[in-house]
């Protein structure tokens, strides 16, 4: 498709991605090579070092504008992208969808074109419909689009920060047995984790009720197990997912109580059925007493709060690489 004179001019003045990271957008992890993922995790480690300094700010993205455009609720992702951009000295706009002209019927594309006209370089987008960030990347190629979660499809920066946390704790990802436990069917975190972990050489097993595991998921290179005790046996990492009731259009199990009885990770089950040093991860938000017991969430094996901290470093690395910060 021929590009317009405006987009040709914009393409010349906008920064190109840095050498060694040839991506303008981050839409999911399936398009990243192992070298790409290693580059992001390596740069994230460098940015994390900055957190211990008195002045936690770098001038790297001075003059760039990052816009957070969230059509779905978020605590961790939105705030950590804001913090990451601010720590790199970018200007940050948090677009409040509910009080914007979207409420008057303005389309998504017109909304984003308006934001682009204000001088945005990067749009961080969360949307309830799978594929929305991909549509924007296709239609507005001069912007960098970061997928901060699209429906049940993908959440690439969550996958990256989970891998960063594993690497920090275990010094490798290759060969580790990672268990993803819970509502795989509705989880964008599960899909991005599987793509990333498989690319990095981990073994992945999904554990949960038949109704919450997508048919044919074995094609992604994962093992499927429906029994919690069996599924936990040799796990180095247990990544627990929330039951996403807001995305369920039918009953996938008889009751929450029964789900917890069969698949809830209690302190006793963790002690009896898993390796003593297995990492317990959760992307949040957590439902204490449902998919994860109180003592497990707050216990010594839990990395839940470290994942949140690492999210800032990983998002700094992603913004830096997509904005061509090192040029």
To ligand CP, the closest distance from the beta carbon of 230 in angstroms equals 27
Structure tokens at 250: 């039918």
Among 158, 187, 199, 303, binds ligand CP (CB under 6 A): 158
Sign (positive/negative) of CA torsion 108, 110, 113, 118? negative
Please say which residue, 230 or 246, places its beta carbon nearer to ligand CP.
Answer: 246
Structure tokens at 63: 């003059």
Please say which residue, 145 or 189, places its beta carbon nearer to ligand CP.
Answer: 189
Q: How many residues are present in the chain?
A: 327
To ligand CP, the closest distance from the beta carbon of 122 in angstroms equals 17
Nearest 5°: the CA angle 53, 59, 63 is: 150
> Taking CB under 6 A as the criterion, which residues in 64-83 touch ligand CP?
74-77
Q: Is 133 in the site for ligand CP (CB under 6 A)?
A: no
Please say which residue, 119 or 285, places its beta carbon nearer to ligand CP.
Answer: 285
Q: Is 3 in the site for ligand CP (CB under 6 A)?
A: no
Please say which residue, 120 or 286, places its beta carbon nearer to ligand CP.
Answer: 286
Q: Are 252 and 184 in contact (CB under 8 A)?
A: no
To ligand CP, the closest distance from the beta carbon of 170 in angstroms equals 21
Which residues, at least 6 apart from 297, have a Cβ–Cβ distance to it below 8 Å? 280, 282, 286, 288, 304
To ligand CP, the closest distance from the beta carbon of 234 in angstroms equals 26
Cα-Cα-Cα-Cα torsion 241, 127, 135, 324, nearest 10 degrees, comes to -80
Q: Provide the binding-site residues for ligand CP, judged by CB under 6 A.
A: 74-77, 149, 155, 158, 283-285
């Amino acid at each position: 498709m021929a590009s317009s004179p405006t987009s040709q001019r914009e393409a010349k003045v906008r920064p190109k991605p840095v050498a060694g990271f040839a991506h303008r957008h981050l839409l999911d992890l399936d398009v990243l090579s192992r070298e790409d993922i290693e580059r992001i995790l390596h740069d994230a480690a460098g940015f994390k070092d900055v957190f211990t300094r008195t002045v936690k700010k770098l001038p790297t993205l001075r003059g760039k504008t990052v816009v957070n455009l969230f059509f779905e609720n978020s605590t961790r992702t939105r705030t950590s992208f804001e913090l990451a951009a601010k720590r790199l000295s970018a200007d940050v706009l948090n677009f409040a969808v509910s009080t914007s002209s979207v409420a008057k019927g303005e389309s998504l594309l017109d909304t984003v074109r308006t934001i682009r006209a204000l001088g945005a370089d990067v749009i961080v987008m969360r949307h309830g419909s799978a594929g929305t960030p991909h549509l924007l990347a296709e239609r507005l190629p001069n912007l960098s689009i970061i997928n901060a979660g699209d429906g049940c499809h993908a959440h690439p920066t969550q996958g990256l920060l989970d891998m960063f946390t594993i690497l920090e704790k275990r010094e490798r990802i290759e060969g580790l047995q990672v268990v993803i436990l819970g509502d795989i069917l509705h989880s964008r975190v599960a899909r991005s984790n599987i793509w990333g972990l498989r690319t990095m050489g981990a073994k992945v097993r999904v554990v949960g009720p038949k109704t919450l595991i997508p048919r044919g998921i074995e094609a992604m290179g994962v093992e499927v197990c429906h029994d919690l005790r069996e599924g936990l046996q040799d796990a180095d990492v247990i990544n627990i997912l929330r039951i996403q009731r807001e995305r369920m259009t039918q009953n996938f199990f008889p009751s929450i109580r029964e789900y917890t009885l069969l698949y809830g990770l209690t302190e006793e089950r963790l002690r009896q059925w898993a390796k003593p040093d297995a990492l317990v991860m959760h992307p949040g938000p957590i439902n204490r007493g449902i998919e994860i017991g109180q003592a497990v969430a707050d216990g010594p094996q839990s990395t839940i709060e470290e994942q949140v901290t690492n999210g800032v470093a990983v998002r700094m690395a992603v913004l830096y690489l997509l904005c061509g910060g090192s040029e």
